[in-house]
Amino acid sequence: MVTPAGEPLVRATDLSRVYRPGPLEIRALDGVSLEIRAGEFVALVGSSGSGKSTLLNLLAGLDTPTQGQVEFGGQPLFTGSPGTLAAHRSLRVGMVFQSFNLIRHRTALQNVELALYFDNTPKSRRRELAGATLERLGLGARLDHLPADLSGGEQQRVAIARAIVKRPQLLLADEPTGNLDETNAHEIAELLRELNRDGITVVLVTHDLELARQYAGRIVRLHYGRVIPEDAA
């Protein structure tokens, strides 16, 4: 079910995530509550260790909170069933990472196709969709290239193509410009803004406040695992 623009798409309530790698306890997120409306372009900014990526992983359903809940389209995400989270990642969410996370022995086309293996898209349709998405992102001539044969900007475009090929409602981008030069960083940010204009809700994690101000519609600041109120920022 698609959430209409302006309606709450994601609602995080009192989210906490505590890691216990040893005797010490690391509180990565501490009672974060956040609402993201459908069609928004939200930037999560903060210094390293502020909990941006942790929050993103929780919204993606890659990680589970120690406390709190995330509702997506009004439905709770953490119900205890791992299948629910896998379906969430497969059908509703697309993810983009700083280090691209492309599979190096698969071509650009095969990397994008991979996102459609888990939502029962027929094989013939997979190839068609993946090809069309790469074409749209200006990589029509690079379909059969391996990631190693592509530039950083191109690799990130492939990663974005992979994230949006299944037409997710929410695109979560974790420092997508972190490994790129300034020109490529702006190109990628611009691409994200275009996708947002096409109706995809975008959450961009960045430590680059300027970039966030330039492209995002709303900025959410995190500091030591807590959201800093807008009036305090």
Partner 1 sequence: MTKRDLLEIALSNLTRLRLRTFLTVSGVVIAVGAFVAMLSFGAGNQKRVQEQYEKFGLLYTMQVFPDDERPDSLPALPLDDSALALLQGIPGVRLAYPLDAVTLETNFADTVMSARAQGLPRSALETQLFSHLTHGGLFTSDSAAEVVVTDRFLRRFDSTGSADLPGSKLVVTTRLATLDSALGAVFSDPDGSLRRRVAALRLDSLRSRAFREQAVRDEAGLALERFLEGLLRHRATVVETLTIVGVLETQHMTRRGQEELIVPVGMVRRLTQGGVSDNPADLFSTLSSGRIPWAGTDGSSRDYRRVTLDLDPTMPYQPIKDSVKALGFDAFSYAEQFKEIREFFVYFDLALGSIGLVALVTAALGIANTLFMATIERRREIGILQALGARRQDIRLLFLVESAAIGTLGALCGVILGWGVSRIGSAIAQEIMERQGAAVIELFAVTWWLVLVALALGLCVSLVAGYVPASRAASVDPVEALRAD
Map the footprint of partner 1 across residues 25-64, applying CB under 8 A. Answer: 57, 60, 62-63
Q: Cβ distance 209 to 45 under 8 Å?
A: yes
Strand 201-206 and strand 170-174: pairing?
parallel
Q: 18, 87, 146, 219: which one contacts partner 1 (CB under 8 A)? A: 87
Q: What are phi and psi of 23, to 5 degrees?
A: -70, -20
Q: What whole-number distance in Å separates Cα of residue 191 and Cα of residue 193? A: 5
Q: What are phi and psi of 217, to 5 degrees?
A: -85, -25
Q: Residue 34's beta-bridge partner residues?
A: 12
- The closest of 55, 82, 83, 81 to 70, measured between CA atoms, is 55
Least Cβ distance, residue 104 to partner 1 (angstroms):
9
Least Cβ distance, residue 230 to partner 1 (angstroms):
28
Least Cβ distance, residue 97 to partner 1 (angstroms):
6
Interface with partner 1, residue 133, by CB under 8 A: no
Segment interacting with partner 1 (CB under 8 A) among 81-89, 145-153, 186-194, 196-204: 81-89
Instruction: Name the residues that contact partner 1, by CB under 8 A.
Output: 57, 60, 62-63, 82-83, 86-87, 89-91, 95, 97, 99, 101-103, 105, 114-115, 117-120, 123, 162
